[in-house]
Amino acid sequence: MSKEQILADLKTSVETWNIKLAQDATNAAINEGISIGEIIGDGLGKGMEVVGERFDKAEIFLPQVVAASKTMEAALKILEPLMSKGEGALKGTVVMATVEGDIHEIGKNVCCAMLRGAGYNVIDLGCDVTAQDFIDAGDENEAQVLGGSALMTTTLEAQRELVQAVKEVEAPYKCIFGGAPCSQAWCDEIGADGYSETANEIITLVDKLVS
Amino acid sequence: MTEYYTRMGDGKRVSMTKEQIMADLQAGTADAADMGEIPALSSAEMEQLFEIIADKNRIVGVEPGHEVVLTYDIGQLDFTGDNGNSGNGVDMGRLESALLHERALGADTFELAHADYSIKPVKPIIANEMQTMEEIQNEIVAPYFYGAMPNMGLYYAPDGPYGNPADLLREFKMEESMASSEAASEHLARDIEYVSTRIIQAGADGFNFDTTASAGDADFVGTLKGVEALRKACPDAYINVGMAGESVMGIHGGMEYDGKIVAGMYPHQQVKVAEKAGADVFGPVCNTNTSKSLAWNLARSVTFIKECVKVASIPCHVNMGMGVGGIPMCETAPIDAVTRCNKAMVEIAHVDGI
């Protein structure tokens, strides 16, 4: 099988959340000597990009994004022993949660799935999470980024509190935010490191922050 | 350069030039056209929207003779509820509230509602609700409905018997999540039939399904099946199906009604399945973006609702309140924005009611 066909199969496997195809194509890629960077970047990752675009257009929905993420993880599991040797290791660790006082987490769950699919170790703390719990999870997992979602104008303030808490303890984490009432202007005002309007955009944002 | 007093989607007062307002109107209608794959507003319609927004009067309205039907959701709770649920914290009985809406506030229809405004908690007290309905029907002249949200979230853990799809998805249990949605949807349809047929038998003039699909696509399908059952049991019942949002969330992703996947449906698609289920009136919704201007939100809302009205075979009574229909998302919506949005919906989207 040609390299192009294997990369195409990797992409298709994530797009169609076909775990068997993902595993077969990943093994074929290893046997053909394709680099881990190419397997993830030009194969699996391209599929996740399509998934993100289709979700943005409401062509697929939450379970399908999670299924694509699970497919990606199945492939990454095969690559893990090779990754630990250096090349293609997970891109970083992101602590994700809905901020204190807010229990809405559908959007955050999609972002988690997208980030996992993009090759990040995601620590999902759930909803109604205090700033201190964000920081504790960041410390325990050696995270680079803390991502806080808020769906209500009344809980936006908790995003500001997270930024302040990180600054107070002089932690190295980049703070990024999203959610319906959140905006770039708000993130600028509270001194956040980034804003993501959609689940698809979060990958580019985190890539930029951890590079 | 002349600046016009207007609002942001969170209610904040701002001043904008005509060029800024027109640019936001253009961007708002383009966003709706892109998302819904529907026509954008014409240049003439956007100029008309600008005139409405830029009107120097604090309150605007439609010309005499162009008034539309006004009705209210949430029953007596808009008086008796506290600020946490859109009420005014004024204690009064349900009869008094109904008569006040009819005789003082000019409501064309009104409804009885449970304090939780949801189908599920009405089940164990249906006999009390039936009696209250009968008593108020003896006093009120305006059509008097029963109103409740399908609110399928109450059927998921920890409030109900089925696993929470959000939790199951987080654990990568896709099949269990979808099965849970399907089971909850069927349960909801059964409960709707139980509650709605009894309250109609007690003399209600109709049933208002408010905030439909708030728990996503399975909630929408469960409600449509409940509407079907009500229509079959009570052929003359007046049924209003009002939505929770402009797009049906795909928590399941594959739930179908009438052979169509309902997730991702926009108002002009939602109305067709509501018609099929047996609704008499449809209440379309377009959500407000708090970070965008009134102009952006209003143009976007009018674009969605206009297309819905255009394709509908039943009357459309658009949802107009805090956070929907272009109206800012704040507890007490500013009257300047409220009246501008309502005028635009009547004159440009051609809605049948508010």
Encode pLDDT of B147-161 as tens digits.
999 999 999 999 999
Asked if A3-83 and A93-210 have one fold, the answer is no
Residue B245 to residue B288: CA distance in whole angstroms? 10
**Residue A59: its chain B contacts at CB < 8 A?**
264
pLDDT tier at B1 (50, 70, 90 boundaries)? confident
Which of B204, B214, B185 is closest to B195 using CA atoms? B204
Quote the pLDDT of residue B84: 65
Whether the predicted pLDDT of A85 surpasses 70: no
Out of 3.40.50.150, 3.40.50.280, 3.40.640.10, 3.30.70.20, select the CATH number for domain A93-210: 3.40.50.280
Q: CA-to-CA distance for A48 and A56, rounded, in angstroms?
A: 12
Which among A63, A181, A186 has CB closest to B174? A63
Distance between CA B9 and CA A145 in Å, rounded?
A: 30
Residue B331's pLDDT is: 80
Q: Which two tokens stand for residue A149?
A: 């979602």
* Cβ pair B177:A63 closer than 8 A: yes
How far is B320 from B353, CA to CA, in rounded Å?
10
Confidence label for B72 from pLDDT (cuts 50, 70 and 90): confident
CB-CB contact of B300 with B28 (8 Å): yes
Edge-to-edge strand list for the sheet holding B238-243 = B110-118, B144-149, B206-212, B238-243, B281-283
The two beta strands, A93-98 and A121-124, are parallel
Q: Is this prediction's pTM over 0.80?
A: yes
Q: How large is the average pLDDT for residues B212-230?
A: 98
Question: What angle, 0 to 180 degrees and rounded to 10, lies between the N-to-C axes of helices A19-31 and A62-83?
Answer: 30
Calculate the CA dihedral of residues B171, B174, B175, B181 and round it to 10 degrees: 100
Going from N- to C-terminal start, the domains of chain A cover 3-83, 93-210
Nearest CB to A70 within list B172, B177, B254: B172
Nearest Cα residue in chain B from A186:
B291
How many residues would you count in chain A?
211
B57's CB contacts (< 8 A; 6+ apart) are none
Domain A3-83 CATH class label? mainly alpha
Higher-pLDDT residue of B256, B89: B256
Shortest Cα distance from A114 to chain B (angstroms)? 12
Please state the φ and ψ torsions of residue B40, each to the nearest 5 degrees.
-80, 165
pLDDT band of residue A111 (cuts 50, 70, 90) is confident
Cα separation, B301 vs B341, in Å, equals: 9
pLDDT tens digits for A138-184?
A: 999 999 999 999 988 889 999 999 999 999 999 999 999 998 889 99
Token pair of A53 as six digits:
């675009």
- Share above pLDDT 70 across residues of chain B, in percent, rounded to a whole number: 99
Buried b / exposed e along A107-123 (16+ C-beta atoms within 10 A): bbbbbbbbbbbbbbbbb
Taking the C-alpha atoms of residue B107 and residue B109, their distance in angstroms, rounded to an integer, is: 5
Q: Compute the average pLDDT of residues A114-128.
A: 88
ipTM of the complex: 0.70
* Distance between CA atoms of residues B174 and B254, nearest Å: 12
Size of interface A-B (CB pairs under 8 A): 61
Tell me which of A54, A59, A61 to substitute to probe the interface with B (most B C-beta atoms closer than 10 Å): A61
Residue of A nearest to B181 (CA): A63
| Cross-chain residue pair B169–A66, CB shorter than 8 Å | yes
| Residues of B engaging A, defined by a Cβ cutoff of 8 Å | 10, 35, 166, 169-170, 172, 174, 177-178, 217, 247, 249-254, 263-264, 289-291, 329
| Pairwise CB contact (< 8 Å): B247 & A58 | yes
% helix / strand / coil in chain B, to the nearest 5? 45, 15, 35
